[in-house]
Structure 1
Amino acid sequence: MAHHHGHDHHDHDHGHGHDGHDHSHDVTPALQSNLYKQIDFDKIITLNEAERRSGEGIVKKTWAQRLDEKPELESDADEQLLMSIPFTGQTKLHSLLIYSPPTPSAPKTIKLFRNRPDLDFSTASDLSPTQTLTIPQTLTGSTSDAFEIPLNRSQFNATTSVTLFFEDNWSDGEEDVTRVLYIGFKGDFTALNREPVTFLYEAAANPRDHTIIQGVQGVGRTIGQ
């Protein structure tokens, strides 16, 4: 894809003069089992985002675009964010991919909820998450890159959506804006096969429909006489 090298011009990509080597080395492993094409982008919901659809925007970034400065997700009223990310079928999540500039605005605690797209901030605060992650903060400048954080795979079988609750950031309460540049996932994907469901429905429904239609016609003739 032509845009795979779109982030090379950023100073913070690789600071040691071997961009090409690092780039070719890190893209291929990251694309293995990447669930990018299995995310239902149009149904992503982000609460407390400062700019509308910016949550969707950072998930829509490809791996090659992960360090691009825009779009950026920023929290609005306080440091918390809540993102519901649906998939187009069943997934078994292996890891979370995340990049945020290494500043106090970087997220610190993320609570993940499996198959709970209905959460708001109140319920996300009260319920026990499927897994809680502490996001590392690096202050190494030009060498910073996306993190791949392993998930408890046994807890994320048959995942059709994942909700991320960004509970706080690295400012210890002093910075009420949380910033995130990239979110992605790795795992296994199983497409939802609807053919058996359709077949079973038709097999059960056709005789019944036929009977109902006959009955209605019979009643109609009786009433009409």
Structure 2
Amino acid sequence: MSHNCEEEYYEHDHIHDHTAPIPTNPNQSLYAQIDTSKVLCLNAVARGIPPHTDFSRAFLKPQDRRFDCSLYLESDADCQLVVHVPFVGNCKLFSIILRTNKTDPGLSSPKTIKLFKNYNQSIDFDTLSSSDADIQIQHPEDVGITGTLFNDDEDTFVEHFLPRRVFQNCSSLTLFFENNWSGDQDDHCILYYLEVRGEFTGRLTPHNGAPVSTIYEAAPNPLDHQKLESEVDEIEMGM
């Protein structure tokens, strides 16, 4: 059985809820409802997958491969990590299940994780750091694994229950791994497995029959903006 985190912390209204959460089951996995082609990872290196392959394969795994540790996502420059998970339609989220690393030389267990529902701003570390999360959770210290190819210990998985009244009509979920238990920013963190559980409520409604798409500009290029402004000026002068 996975490790359960029953305490829910609602950052936006400062309410602690210590009531027992509603249990979930594997049939409530939203794995099939994730738009893997649009998953975004920042400050991340995917281990164990071929080059030019979707990063999502490193940590979004079918349940029959949840014990496979040969594929994983590792933070790159420091301990922080961002994972943006879009769905093919609207969902009601019940919980997330994480499998991370234990503390080891050069590694430290993730501590604070901020969750954002339908985040529609530029997805980058500065913007996420200054934004109010829909919920902030604390991952338990030193619960996880280190560097094995296969580990079937269910207690290394942690289920964090989400406030269902908040995570309705959810078209995407953004996770910001903000810090770690060691307090050393140079210690990396590893995400072996992420599972989102909930209920699929319907496909996204396109505007005018065209698919909805969002472009995230992680590192805007000022020269591009100058070029666009110049083109607008030329059009206006020619009218």
On whether the aligned pair clears a TM of 0.5, the verdict is: yes
SS in 2 for 1:32: helix
2:110 pairs with 1:110: no
Given that 2:179 and 2:185 are in contact with CA atoms closer than 8 Å, whether structure 1 keeps it comes out as no
Q: 2:15 maps to which residue?
A: none
Tell me, in whole angstroms, the C-alpha distance in 2 between the residues paired with 1:37 and 1:84. 16
Report the alpha carbon displacement of residue 169 of structure 1 after superposing the two structures with TM: 1.7
The answer to whether the aligner puts 1:161 opposite 2:156 as a matched pair is no
Distance 2:115 2:44 in 1: 18
Going from structure 1 to structure 2, the CA distance change for 1:100 and 1:194 (only over 3 Å counts) comes to: closer
Task: Tell me by how many angstroms 1:66 deviates.
Answer: 1.9
Question: Which of residues 188, 198, 202 in structure 2 aligns to 1:187?
Answer: 198
* Equivalent-residue separation in structure 2 for 1:174 and 1:144 (angstroms): 26
- Are the counterparts in 1 of residues 80 and 179 from structure 2 also a CA contact under 8 Å? yes
Percent identity between the aligned chains?
A: 34
Distance (Å, rounded) in 2 between the aligned partners of 1:193 and 1:157: 13
CA-CA distance at 1:80 after TM superposition: 0.3
Give the secondary-structure state (helix, strand or coil) at the position aligned to 2:187: coil
Asked if the contact 1:105/1:175 (under 8 Å) is kept, the reply is no
Cα–Cα, structure 1 residues 138 and 154, in superposed 2: closer, same or farther, change >3 Å?
A: same
Which residue number in structure 2 is paired with residue 205 of structure 1? none
Matching of residues 38-187 of structure 1 within 5 Å:
38-51=33-46, 55-103=55-103, 105-116=108-119, 118-138=122-142, 144-173=155-184, 175-187=186-198
Larger Rg: 1
Instruction: Please state how far the C-alpha of 1:172 moved relative to its aligned partner.
Output: 1.9
Q: Say if 1:61 and 1:154 are closer, same or farther in 2 by CA, change over 3 A.
A: same
How far is 1:144 from its partner?
Answer: 3.2
Q: Tell me the TM-score normalized by structure 2.
A: 0.64
Give the whole-Å Cα distance in 1 for the aligned partners of 2:143 and 2:133: 29
1:58-106 deviation per Cα after TM superposition (whole angstroms, max 9, x unaligned): 3431123223112111101110001110001000111011111322522
- Note the C-alpha offset of 1:193: 6.8
**Greater helix share, structure number:** 1
Q: How many residues align?
A: 171
**What is residue 30 of structure 2 aligned with on the other side?**
35
SS at match of 2:165: helix
Q: Which is richer in strand?
A: 2
**Alignment match, 1:207:** none
In 2: Cα distance, 1:122 partner to 1:134 partner: 21
5+ residue gaps in structure 1? 1-28, 199-225
What are the ranges of 5 or more consecutive residues in structure 2 without an aligned counterpart? 1-23, 47-51, 146-152, 210-239
Which residue of structure 2 aligns with residue 17 of structure 1?
none
SS at match of 1:144: helix
Contact 2:109 2:143 in 1 (8 A): no
CA distances 1:174-197 after superposition (whole Å, capped 9, x unpaired): 6421111000111111222759x7
Amino acid at match of 1:161: S
Contact 1:77 1:176 in 2 (8 A): no
